[in-house]
Amino acid sequence: MAPAADREGYWGPTTSTLDWCEENYAVTWYIAEFWNTVSNLIMIIPPIFGAIQSVRDGLEKRYIASYLALTVVGMGSWCFHMTLKYEMQLLDELPMIYSCCIFVYCMFECFKMKNSVNYHLLFILVLFSLIVTTVYLKVKEPVFHQVMYGMLVFTLVLRSIYIVTWVYPWLRGLGYTSLGLFLLGFLLWNIDNIFCDSLRNFRKKMPPIIGVATQFHAWWHILTGLGSYLHILFSLYTRTLYLKYRPKVKFLFGIWPVILFEPLRKH
């Protein structure tokens, strides 16, 4: 039998420009990277409920878009890791850029009148997205995408630090937890890339349950999915505070964070 990494499955030969450290078709013939695929559920299901709750609460459309954009990223990543096809890779990577642009817009519009639209910022972010898309389709260089995505994340980090330092210091816990989860995920992403051969050899010697725990790209999905979700909560908390609502972070079933709020009553 061929090594797990060389197995072919339902979707045929790999056409993506990236093939991660998880052994291909090792769990099932229908999914190329099983753990890298199912770990995306954290980016798909919770944001859908967040979007539904945002509609019910009458929140501004950009926050509904934020939740739905995160869901699209999760679905794109699911399709990419399931098939390892180039078209599905684009469905994963390009929405990462678009969703981050929505996050940036939300963060820089936190302290504006309700339902206001910043057409200048909107134009810049749409133009940025179009340029990145056009260049990436032409050069097909993953490092270019990673640098562009990193620039957007860095912008979000700087804006978040400004808010928790100068505007709402009591939001440090939420802001830094989101950032910390993202950075931990980024660390594991790098370990997975740099030490892939060692990780694969380790998995061959260990029981399957321990091997699963070393699927660090899957952990990247889980940690950054949760970090991104918390970032939306942080942005939403900041916004509703400015609009003089009473936001509160609650935990469904004692584990999953959501924001509940009520408008400030007028006397």
- Residues forming the annotated binding site? 19-20, 22, 24, 33, 81, 217, 221
Backbone φ and ψ for 257, nearest 5 degrees, come out as -75, 135
Take residue 195 and report the two structure tokens written for it. 């030490």
Cα three-residue angle 204-193-6, rounded to 5 degrees: 50
Give the span between the Cα atoms of 114 and 57, in whole angstroms. 14
Backbone φ and ψ for 256, nearest 5 degrees, come out as -105, 120
Binding region for Zn(2+): 81, 217, 221
Q: Smallest Cα–Cα separation from 54: which of 66, 45, 44?
A: 66
Give the span between the Cα atoms of 153 and 218, in whole angstroms. 20
Report CA dihedral (93, 177, 218, 133) to the nearest 10 degrees: 0
Q: Do 84 and 11 meet the contact criterion of CB atoms below 8 Å apart?
A: yes
Give the span between the Cα atoms of 109 and 40, in whole angstroms. 29
Residues comprising the chain, all counted: 267
Binding region for Ca(2+): 19-20, 22, 24, 33
Q: Smallest Cα–Cα separation from 245: which of 109, 58, 70, 82?
A: 58
